[in-house]
Structure 1
């Protein structure tokens, strides 16, 4: 092989090698850019959901605690002889505040329904339903006419309170699982 042909072949191999390296580098850069865009997109979807979950959980917890406070005031009213009417009025005020808070919470629940996913939506519906049943049990207990009637209704009240708290926790777990899935998807 003469020196000229060897030089041409060497230059060709060098050019092809350099071009091949450039193509590989471009493909890797493109893949990295695609991964970053996907991660940013998933993160942009995750943040509104996280904010919606936190808003709903906070509203749910605050409303639950107001109903619990109304329950305790009603208990005190049933046990009291000298402050019964005063405590009933205070229990009714707490109950009404909780009811207003529960109505305001519906917007937060609607956002959860839009943001999803289904497991979180189901958990929010379950939590709202259990809170509503606790609300009804509080009102039923507050309206008990006699001490015997109140004692009879108290067991149901305690059961509904526990169910409402369980609904709250189930929502938190579902929301946490959904956000964890988002984080795992970001790492793919």
Structure 2
């Protein structure tokens, strides 16, 4: 093998190695970008759910606080003042709005449970 052929083969091997490294780097960068995009998508989906769930839990806790008095029939007086009933109806109304947000945020099984809780709250307020 003469020096000219060795130089050409060396240059060819170097260029093939450089192209291979560039392709591997490009593939790795695409995979990294895909992983980052997937993580960002999950975060964007999770964040509204988190806020909806937080609001629903808060509204449900408020309803529980207002309705504890009504859960035992023997403790409920015959004549209720308007302030007590208004607070209960406001709590039920807040919970209905929060349940709607939760049902829109999903997933389906969480939505079903939120609607069940909202219906129980509505039944409680209509029985008072």
Report the TM-score when normalising by structure 2. Answer: 0.85
**Map 1:5-16 → 2, pairs under 5 A:** 5-16=5-16
Q: C-alpha deviations, 1:93-117, integer Å up to 9, x for none?
A: 3233111221232222221222111
**Unaligned stretches of 5+ residues in structure 1:** 79-87, 140-188
Partner Cα distance (1:49, 1:71) in 2? 30
Partner Cα distance (1:53, 1:135) in 2? 22
Q: C-alpha deviations, 1:21-71, integer Å up to 9, x for none?
A: 111011101110111012112101110111001101110111122011345
Partner Cα distance (1:110, 1:55) in 2? 11
- 1:101 matched to 2:91? The reply is yes
Partner Cα distance (1:130, 1:96) in 2? 18
Q: C-alpha deviations, 1:127-148, integer Å up to 9, x for none?
A: 11222334455x2xxxxxxxxx
Partner Cα distance (2:53, 2:76) in 1? 35
Q: How many residues align?
A: 128
Asked if the contact 2:102–2:114 (Cα under 8 Å) also holds between the matched residues in 1, the reply is yes
Report the TM-score when normalising by structure 1. Answer: 0.60
Partner Cα distance (1:41, 1:129) in 2? 33
SS in 2 for 1:34: helix
